[in-house]
Structure formats: C-alpha cells, structure tokens
Amino acid sequence: MTIASHSNPLTGPQPAGAASGPELQRCEQCGRVGVRGFRVLPATEYTKPITLCASKAACRKRWPKPHHEIA
Ligand SMILES: [Zn+2]
C-alpha cells in the first residue's frame, strides 16, 4: 500500500464536495457502487431520479434475493 504521491502535504486531499472527478454512484436496486456502468432514470412528477445499473440483466444477478419483476 502506498500513499497517493500526488497528495500535497500542505493542502491534503480535496475536501468533500469539491472533487472534480467522477462521482461514485450507487445502484438503487442491487446496491452496486462505482463510477461507470450506470444509467439514471429521469425524475418524473412522482419520483426522483433513480440510479440503476446500465445492464439490467447484470444488475438483477446481483440482487440478494429474487423479487417480483419491476416493469
Ligand atoms: Zn444494479
């Protein structure tokens, strides 16, 4: 394990909320966390935006238990 060499000892890591890199996303169905391979369902009148795996089939395989089909 090595400490990130580009970290400036004077300023330290970037404060939370100021990062300009890709943000971690979390699938709301299977709980997968990452920065790629996600799609976001746009908000509707009744729901807020929903983050899901881009691959629906792969997402379902990660579900801890089988659930009723959603849509
Ligand atoms: Zn998923």
Q: Ligand 1 mean position to 58 CA, how many Å?
A: 7
| Direct distance between the N- and C-terminal alpha carbons of the chain, in angstroms, rounded to an integer | 44
Q: Nearest Cα to 63, choosing from 35, 25, 28, 37?
A: 28
Q: Ligand 1 mean position to 14 CA, how many Å?
A: 29
Tokens of 8: 């400036």
Q: Ligand 1 mean position to 31 CA, how many Å?
A: 6
Q: What is the mean pLDDT of the chain?
A: 80
Q: Ligand 1 mean position to 15 CA, how many Å?
A: 28
- Does the pTM surpass 0.75? The reply is no
The proportion of the chain whose per-residue pLDDT surpasses 90, expressed as a percent, equals 52
* pLDDT tens column, 14-39: 555 555 677 899 999 999 999 999 99
Choose between 13 and 32: higher pLDDT. Answer: 32
Residue-by-residue DSSP string for 27-69: -TTT--EESSSEEEEPP-SS---EEEES-HHHHHHT-SS----
Residues 6+ apart with CB under 8 A from 55: 37
